[in-house]
Amino acid sequence: MGRVQAELKIDDEAEGGASGPVPGVQALTRGVQLLELVASAATPPRFTDLLEGSGMPKGTLHRILQALVDERLLKLDGRDQTYRLGSRLFQWAHRVWDDFDLRGAAEPELERLRDLTGETVRLGILDGDGILYIDQREAPQPVRLSNGVGSRAKPYASGLGKAILAHLSLEMRRRLLGETELQRLTPHTIADFNELISQLDLTKARGYAVSIDEQNVGISSVAAPILDHEAKPLGAIGVIGPSFRLPPERLHALGRDVIEAARRISGNIGEVAMSLNINPRPLGADRDDVCCAIPASLFLGEGPHWSVQDQQLYFVDILAPSVCVGDPIKGSYRSWPMPELTSFLIPRKGGGFIAGMQSEVRAIDPSENESLVLARPETNRPGNRFNDGKCDRRGRLWAGTLAIDTTPGQGSLWRLDPDGRVHAMDRGFHVSNGLGWSPDDRLFYFTDTAKQTIYVYDFDSETGTIENRRVFVTVPESEGKPDGLTIDAEGFVWSAHWDGWCVTRYDPDGRVERVINLPVPRPTSCVFGGADMQTLFVTSARIRLSAAQIADAPLSGSIFAIETGIKGLPENVFGG
């Protein structure tokens, strides 16, 4: 560490720090500040970014950066002159986790959750082929449970077990569960391996697991995994109690609280891009031109598609997998459950629909419970799922993917032609999302929610190709995250802002033209519809909102209608 010591001394003497009580402390603090700036940046920062973010003199910044690079605490990518965390930090991280005291770190969270919920809270680890409970805090009015600290449970039937299993690789799941018959402990236990795998993928996407009468009749739980620096499960923490005190709606409302507790235990080391915090609710009364068109309690309402022919709104609930058809005039909808994560539903020219399932695009007829696989493009990435999807004016489907646990850089953009051919159009996205085309078919828009960015490409309608990707708009975090989008007849882009309580209209140059506030924090997507195509329908979500947040925004998960006075573009159907 001689170089770092030398640089600290030089920097301290240069800025008067040598007269302080501990030589080098100021420079050391600044070095830690730089490491934090690099670690928290959405994209690897350049020197100018760090200069602006740190407020340091240029010479001081250069010297400290060079010292950190020399000691492998940072690395400089010569291709684009950006800084990333260095290998020595990861070597140290492994040593930290080798000595990690899970029980000690979890103790305050066990007590906090017990006091918050009034229920028993447990800490468990995967031990061999079972879950071992290693700590517990009893509820003020405890219910008699058949097991406690030191006892074991079947992982596939308990909340803690499913939270851990969901974050193991498919290979590890099969090795752990596939060689033995799943025992049906109660009438509600999932005893089919393939059904269990689908439920674990759903758990991974939600961020928490629920167990309702699966281990013992009359006992329910909700749990979240405690992840290490490689996002591997160290254990899980969960709330457990009698089912009459923990009905499904309360279990899901507590999902956010157990995720938050798990992240605190690990110091947010294994945190993934599942947002828990929402921006403050906008001040002022609700707008008169915004109404709740279809009251609902969707976990993650998404993929709205207005059918001009049927005058109905199609949409999905990704995290309570179902496809839905709604009538905004009557304010009602019908839904059909789906066997796995389902992200969009689009009519087909030949009848029926295409749906973006977990890893497949299928032709489906939900009323007849029929489906046919049309494409399975990501066979090499079983941990991915489809997200938003739309069809261009030639009937080609465009759909993006992302990692179920939102691991960065795993998402791709695909094109499925009506004749069944599949094309990879772009890669390296974090959370693939809203997409659409300009009225003249010369531009294609595509969103990466986690990067706060809507991109725009040059589009060739004849060949179905895209090129020259550039940033259309980057949304400040204070305004939420860009989610689904649609484009009106004037070429303006409408984007729903997750955690932002609003929909924003951007002009063709990316300037904000208007912001329409909504009574829910998590609008997810939008589409034009109605008899005159001037009504903007907006889907929303209630997933990972706390009970207090839902009480403040009780319409979360509903469909909203905004009378814009602006004509939208009709949605296209799949040409196959």
Alpha carbon distance 41, 50 (integer Å): 10
Q: Which of the 8 DSSP states describes residue 46? A: B
Place of tokens 């009574």: 519
Burial bucket for residue 449 (CB in 10 Å: 0-12, 13-18, 19+): buried
Amino acid in position 53: G
State the Cα–Cα distance between residues 68 and 362, nearest whole angstrom: 51
What residue ranges in 378-437 does DSSP mark as E strands? 384-391, 397-403, 411-416, 422-429, 432-437
Per DSSP, the three-state class of 343 is coil
Q: Which residues have C-beta within 8 Å of that of residue 259, sequence separation ≥ 6?
A: 207, 208, 224, 274, 276, 544
User: What per-residue string of b and e applies to 464-482 under the rule 16 or more CB within 10 Å gives b?
Assistant: bebeeeeebbebeeebbbb
Residue 358 is classified by DSSP as S
CA count, 13 A, side-chain hemisphere, 430: 16
Token look-up 């009905």 returns 247
Element housing 302 (H / E):
strand 301-307
> Is 275 in contact with 306 (CB distance < 8 Å)?
no
d(CA 553, CA 556): 6
As given in the structure block, the two tokens for residue 442 are 């010369």
Decide if 341 contacts 403 (C-beta within 8 A). Answer: no
What is the SS3 string spanning 426-449? EEEECCEEEEEECCCCCEEEEEEH
d(CA 94, CA 282): 43
3-state secondary structure of 84: strand
CA distance 518 to 538: 9
Q: Can you list the pairs that 137-141 forms with residues at least 24 positions away whose Cβ atoms lie under 8 Å?
A: 137/110, 137/111, 137/113, 138/114, 139/114, 139/241
The 10 Å Cβ neighbour count of residue 228 is: 18
Q: Which residues belong to the active site?
A: 483
Using CA atoms, how far apart are residues 357 and 388, in angstroms rounded to an integer? Answer: 11
Task: Identify the sign of the CA torsion 83, 84, 87, 92.
Answer: positive
Task: Report in angstroms the alpha-carbon separations of 534 from 80, 347, 388, 528, 568.
Answer: 45, 21, 22, 6, 6
Q: Is 106 in contact with 262 (CB distance < 8 Å)? A: no
